[in-house]
Structure formats: C-alpha cells, structure tokens
Amino acid sequence: MELRQNTSLKNYTTLGIGGSALYLIEVSSVDQMKEAIFFAKEKSLPYLVLGKGSNTLFHDRGYLGVVILNKITTIKWNRNFVTAGAGYSFSLLGVQSAKKALSGLEFASGIPASVGGAVFMNAGANGQETFDSLVSVGFLNDSLDYKEVKKEEIDYGYRYSSFQETKGAIVSATFCLKEEERARNRQLEIIEYRKNTQPYDKKSAGCVFRNPSEKSAGALIDSLGLKGVEIGGACVSMKHANFLINNNQASAEDFLALIKKIKQLVHQRAGVELEVEIRQIPFEG
C-alpha cells in the first residue's frame, strides 16, 4: 500500500476542491483494503473510501481521517456476466460491454465514476440505473469480514443504496447484461448527447440536485434564469443548469454558498424544495 500524509484532496475529485487528508492510502486488492481499514481503526480515525471522486465535495480544511483510494480494477467476463473491481472505471465498463453487444450499461459511458461509486449512489441516466442490471456486490464490512451481497438483500432507490448507511467498503460488483446488437450504437448516441448537453471540459461534481417530481432540477433552475450565476469561483454551468462548475479555483465555501442561493431562489420563485445529491464530507468525518 502507498501511504501519504497531509495530501491535498483537490487532485482526487472531479470538482478539484478540498483541503488535505490526514492520511491517504491507495489500495489495489481486497487484502490491502482490509489493511487500510485496520490502519484507520487502529488509530481511532474515521475513514472514507473514495473512487473517482465524481460526486464528492470535501471541506476546505480537508479530512481529519483516512481517505482510502480504491484502485481495485480487476475485471472478469463470463458470457453475459461481468464482475468488476470497485475501482474500475464505470464509464469504461459501459463502453466495453456495449462493444461486446451487451446491453444494460450503455448509460454508464461518460459517467465519471468508479464501479463502487456507481453502486453506492445507484447512479443512473437515460432511463437506466446501476441496480437494473446488478446481481451482487462484494462488500468488506467494518469488522473486516467479506460477503457477497445479493441485490435482493440491498435496499435501493433513486440515487440511493443502503451502502450509504453501512460502514465498510464495496470491493466488487457483478452485473448480468443482455445480448443486443444495438447496444454499441445506443452507447455512442448517449455519449454524443452528453458531450452536447453537459460541461465535460469543466471541473464539476456531476448533477448537484436530485430531480424533483415536478420537473428536472436542471430545467427548473434554467427556467429561473440562473445559468451563469456565480459566487466566488463557483458558477452555474451555461450548458446544463444542474451542473455547478469550479470556474476559478473555487472553495468549498463558494460551492456551498451557491447551492444555498439556488435552493432559496427555487423555493421562493417556484415553490420547490431542491435536495442536494452530492456527498458533502465534513472535516472531522
């Protein structure tokens, strides 16, 4: 394992915001994950497992604990089943499965998450969600016991899985896909659409707000003319209003202030209470 102290977290999230972690450990196997969690517990420190950091906002002071960078990137294909390490790129998995004419993960293409992060959040887009094709999850609990958890044993819903309330680490996931010749074409259509409608070239954490029942959060924010609104270095994307971007060395404080302003304006003008989707990591865990 690679252990680093007082490491800036800006380079480990897609948003590029955050102070330093007291400890950062990079792991590439289940055994190393066990060692990293044991290290945190031995020092009586909180720990956080991080994939690609695409849905994460760290505090400006950083994280007073152990950030475990999940780099478990194993991959195994068995006909229409695939088992991927939790650190494997979810986007790459979407591309590779589509190239094999396997359908179910086309929507993953372009989502800047790890497999573990996608399972954790039940990531979704284009009418599909991670749990639609999920079979089971390899999970290492806080007592360092490994278990293969079946989908039926997991509570999940819109941008939610019960892993969000369970200490431990997702280390792998198995998916069952369907043979379909059009999978590759559909995947290419999805990625082209995203390039045209989302700020791929900017630092962002993905969609900031969950979609309310009334209309999509992006359409709602856009309808109020909030595209381009800035606080400090944080800005509402001109391309997609549910993306807030790090425009100029934004701080977490800038980002949270902009979130608060959008929530207030949407509530005042549209009567809708927006719910934040991204994970906000406190300094003391």
Q: Each residue of 141-177: pLDDT tens digit?
A: 999 999 999 999 999 999 999 999 999 999 999 999 9
What pLDDT sits at residue 85? 98
Name the β-bridge partners of 185: none
d(CA 120, CA 100): 25
Q: Let me know if 213 is exposed, middle or buried by CB neighbors in 10 A (0-12, 13-18, 19+).
A: exposed
For 199-281, CATH gives 3.90.78.10
C-beta separation of 182 from 124 below 8 A: no
What phi, psi does 193 have (nearest 5°)?
-65, -40
Residue 285 has pLDDT above 80, yes or no: no
Residue 73 corresponds to which tokens in the numbers above? 């990137």
Q: State mean pLDDT over 182-210.
A: 94
When pLDDT is cut at 50, 70 and 90, the band that residue 277 belongs to is very high
d(CA 194, CA 190): 6
Residues annotated as part of the active site: 159, 207, 277
Residue 99 half-sphere exposure toward CB, CA atoms < 13 A: 8
Give the pLDDT confidence of 229-269 residue by residue, as tens digits. Answer: 999 999 999 999 999 999 989 999 999 999 999 999 999 99
Residue 69 has pLDDT above 80, yes or no: yes
C-beta separation of 171 from 116 below 8 A: yes
On average, the pLDDT of the chain sits at 96
Q: What pTM does this model have?
A: 0.94
What pLDDT sits at residue 123? 94
When pLDDT is cut at 50, 70 and 90, the band that residue 86 belongs to is very high
Region(s) of the chain under CATH 3.30.465.10 = 75-183
What pLDDT sits at residue 3? 94
Architecture of domain 75-183 in this structure: 2-Layer Sandwich (3.30)
Residue 86 half-sphere exposure toward CB, CA atoms < 13 A: 27
When pLDDT is cut at 50, 70 and 90, the band that residue 107 belongs to is very high
The SS3 call for residue 14 is coil
The SS3 call for residue 198 is coil
Alpha helices in the chain (DSSP H): 30-42, 90-99, 115-121, 183-197, 217-223, 252-270
What pLDDT sits at residue 283? 97
d(CA 105, CA 227): 31
d(CA 115, CA 87): 6
Residue 91 corresponds to which tokens in the numbers above? 């986007």
C-beta separation of 39 from 31 below 8 A: no
When pLDDT is cut at 50, 70 and 90, the band that residue 126 belongs to is confident
Helices 90-99 and 183-197 cross at an angle (nearest 10°) of 140
Region(s) of the chain under CATH 3.90.78.10 = 199-281
When pLDDT is cut at 50, 70 and 90, the band that residue 51 belongs to is very high
What pLDDT sits at residue 1? 80
DSSP E strand stretches across 142-242: 146-150, 156-157, 160-161, 168-176, 178-179, 204-207, 230-231, 234-236
